[in-house]
A and B are shown apart, each in its own frame.
Chain A
Amino acid sequence: MTAHMHTEHDDDGETRRDFMAILAGAFGAIGAAIAAFPLLNSLSPARDTLALATIEVDLSDIPEGSSKTVMWRGKPVFIRHRTPEQIKAAESVNLQSLIDKQTDEERVKKPEWLVTVGVCTHLGCVPMGQKESDNHGDFGGWFCPCHGSHYDTSGRIRKGPAPKNLTVPPYAFLSDTKIKIG
């Protein structure tokens, strides 16, 4: 028996037993990782959270120049009824001067209505500017008080630390005065 074990040594003095130990250890580690998966997976959004909430919003009560905030997927959505001046300001911007280059046209379905998710793309605060009396920032749109991001009348980032324009959620016009978000 002992003689047999000696012959199992290969040249570097490693045995089959060393190999088996490493293999067993590796399998144990893989097994532990697989066992951890359901635990970590349970942290992802649950089915009810994911259930894509769609909401319908009536626009008829938003006079020109004012805004409405609605909740969608736990986040505020800004709906602004833009004035002709605001539309003109948004359309006449030189694309080259933008941080996140997008034309106003790409961001709206009808120029009077701007619909964006009201979450600053920096670190997630809700920018001010929905109320008449709010600070609208240097570009007449929204101003994020957290670290000073300025958005224009198309919800595009113009100044400050935010890297992206306010997100436009998926939405569709059901009629002239009604939209469905989501």
Chain B
Amino acid sequence: MASGNREPFNNTVVEWIDSRMPIFTLLNKEYGVFPVPRNFNYFWNFGAIAGFMLVVMIATGLFLAMHYSADTGLAFNSVERIMRDVNGGWLIRYIHMNGASFFFIAVYIHIFRGMYYGSYKKPRELLWILGALIFLLMMATAFLGYVLPWGQMSLWGATVITGFFTAIPFIGEDIQVWLLGGFAVSNPTLTRFFALHFLLPFVIFAVVFLHIWALHICGSNNPLGIEPKTRQDTLPFHPYYTIKDSFGLLVFVLVYCVFIFYMPDALGHPDNYIQANPMVTPPHIVPEWYFLPFYAILRAITFNMNLYFLLGLVMLLLLLVDFVWRKKPVYLSAAGGLALLVVGGLLVLTGFTGDSCQRIDAQWLEANVGFKNMCGTLQALPGMSAEAAPISAKLGGVLAMFGSVAMLFVLPWLDTHPVRSARYRPLYRVFFLLLVVVFLILGYVGSQPADASVAGVPLILVGLLGTGYYFAYFLVILPLLGRFEKAKPLPESIHDVVLAKQINAETKI
């Protein structure tokens, strides 16, 4: 922010301020003439859209807070009062309520965009991690906010989510009591959730600032994934991208408004219009849609992770670590690596099958003697019982869920391929698009009751397979592709590609 070589402004007021504190110089540098790749597509709109949504949430939230009462005796009615009696209160609430959903839509597209075009790769790792942190904080904020209206889903959602902590061995129950300020989700819980829900968006705001700072150090990625080299590859941010961002935002807000005005409760759950009742659990608890894939991962782990499974997993992870980070001198010989793979894989399989045997229907086992014998042998192994498993199914589910978000944080080091954009990585492209499909399927699985099945296939199995693919994508597929995938030749420059497209279009006319 050195004011050394400052261009003077013509407007005397602006110049008076700028010569004392060069804020206009700064704004002009970062948002006026800031060079941006000229080949953005519309996926590059969602960062600005997410920023807009944050401002909308803070503005509407502030006014909701002026009418809201954080007390279990008053909360539900105060929200109903906002809906019926406060002038335009229904509008403010619907903007806030649907705003959370649209904020997540924007951020999900923003994240998947970054993955498709390799925006997390060097030198943008820190930028990416700050983004993942924003996502995590958003999830916390939305969870806390959903408790405030004190409906049935508020109470039971909070009960289930804070119940995760009881999975921690020994101190879990105490942690939960400390978080809740009581033995169940109750008044002390609501008051602290309100305070934190008010605070966290401002923390998000601060992290967004860091995110943009990091962005403006290394500049934006682009659909080709190659760095701009000359001035011909870029355009000044203003007016080119201020206009493009505004247009995209307009379209987005139009869809958002359709929800606010015509189907405000479509994304919510009707049970949340029933006041919280600690004596009755709704028959089917579902989180908000934006949590569903992670909820499916939580529920997918129905097996205990016994010593066999964990030992095998550690061996496979060792192999992976060696594989991803080994430079020229190879730590593991090919034979050593293969041995690790085979032994680790067998151990994982043994542990998993042995544990699953405990849940197989006894009648089915009688009818399938081969399986019965195998289960008998496996279960006779020492340390195979459920009690001996260091990680119970419950803890395993919680770890898998947090682990799935943690994948985002380590992604820059799992994908070692030098080429960024999926346009030039045909295999990566297929696996990535499959990941998006799997993520959506997991979302569907998360929305269904635990024991549901589709066309005879139990959804719990679909959830397990989806979870398996999710982790395999990050931990196995990406490292493998990083070593073996041959990329298509990269273009000389952004300018070349844009020009070729133009010429192509003109000759067609």
Contact = CB atoms under 8 A, between A and B. Distances in A.
Interface in B424-452: 449-451
B281 A126 contact: yes
B279 A71 contact: yes
Contact of B160 (A44, A125, A162): A125
B165 to A, nearest CB: 10
A71 B397 CA distance: 30
Given A45-B188, A161-B393, A148 B450 contact: yes
12 contacts: A43-B178, A49-B181, A49-B182, A74-B184, A76-B278, A122-B163, A123-B160, A126-B278, A126-B279, A145-B284, A145-B285, A163-B392
Contact of A161 (B164, B183, B397): B397
B394 interface: yes
Interface string A135-169: 00000000011111000000000010111000000
A75 B183 contact: yes
B285 A125 contact: yes
Given A122-B163, A123-B159, A125-B159, A73 B285 contact: no
A99 B386 contact: yes
A161 to B, nearest CB: 6
B464 interface: no
A145 B184 CA distance: 19
Contacts of B183: 45, 49, 73-75
A147 B299 contact: yes
B179 interface: yes
Give the interface centre of A69, A76, A146 by most chain B CB atoms within 10 Å. Answer: A146
A44 B183 CA distance: 10
B394 A161 contact: yes
Nearest to B183: A73
Interface of B: 156, 159-160, 162-164, 166, 177-179, 181-184, 186, 188, 192, 278-285, 299, 302, 359, 386, 392-394, 397, 449-451
A122 B184 CA distance: 14
Given A44-B177, A69-B279, A161-B394, A123 B164 contact: yes
Nearest to B392: A163
A146 B281 contact: yes
A124 B159 contact: yes
Nearest to B277: A126
A148 to B, nearest CB: 4
Interface in A49-97: 49, 69, 71, 73-76
Nearest to A148: B450
A46 interface: yes
Nearest to B460: A148
Contacts of B166: 123-124
A134 to B, nearest CB: 10
B207 to A, nearest CB: 21
Q: Which of the four size classes fits the interface of chain A?
A: 20 to 34
A147 B295 CA distance: 11
- The 9 A-B pairs at the shortest CB distance, nearest first, are namely A123-B163, A124-B163, A74-B184, A148-B450, A126-B281, A125-B281, A124-B159, A123-B160, A147-B450
A144 B186 CA distance: 21
Given A123-B394, A126-B278, 9 more contacts: A74-B182, A75-B183, A75-B184, A125-B285, A126-B279, A145-B285, A146-B281, A146-B450, A163-B393
Contacts of A126: 278-281
A75 B178 contact: no
Contacts of A146: 156, 160, 281, 285, 450
A144 B156 CA distance: 13
Contacts of B397: 161
A46 B160 CA distance: 23
A177 to B, nearest CB: 23
A46 B188 contact: yes
A123 to B, nearest CB: 3
Contacts of B285: 125, 145-146
A127 B279 CA distance: 10
Give the interface centre of A124, A127, A163 by most chain B CB atoms within 10 Å. Answer: A124
A45 B182 contact: yes
Interface string A111-122: 000000001001
Contacts of A119: 184
Contacts of A99: 386
Interface in A19-67: 43-46, 49
Contacts of B179: 43
A123 B184 CA distance: 12
A44 B178 contact: yes
Contact of A45 (B156, B159, B177, B451): B177
Contacts of B279: 69, 71, 76, 126
A68 to B, nearest CB: 12
Nearest to A41: B178
B355 to A, nearest CB: 12
Contacts of A69: 279
Contact of A43 (B162, B181, B392): B181
A29 to B, nearest CB: 22
Contacts of A123: 159-160, 163-164, 166, 394
A148 B178 CA distance: 27
Nearest to B184: A74
A45 B183 CA distance: 8
A129 to B, nearest CB: 11
B320 to A, nearest CB: 29
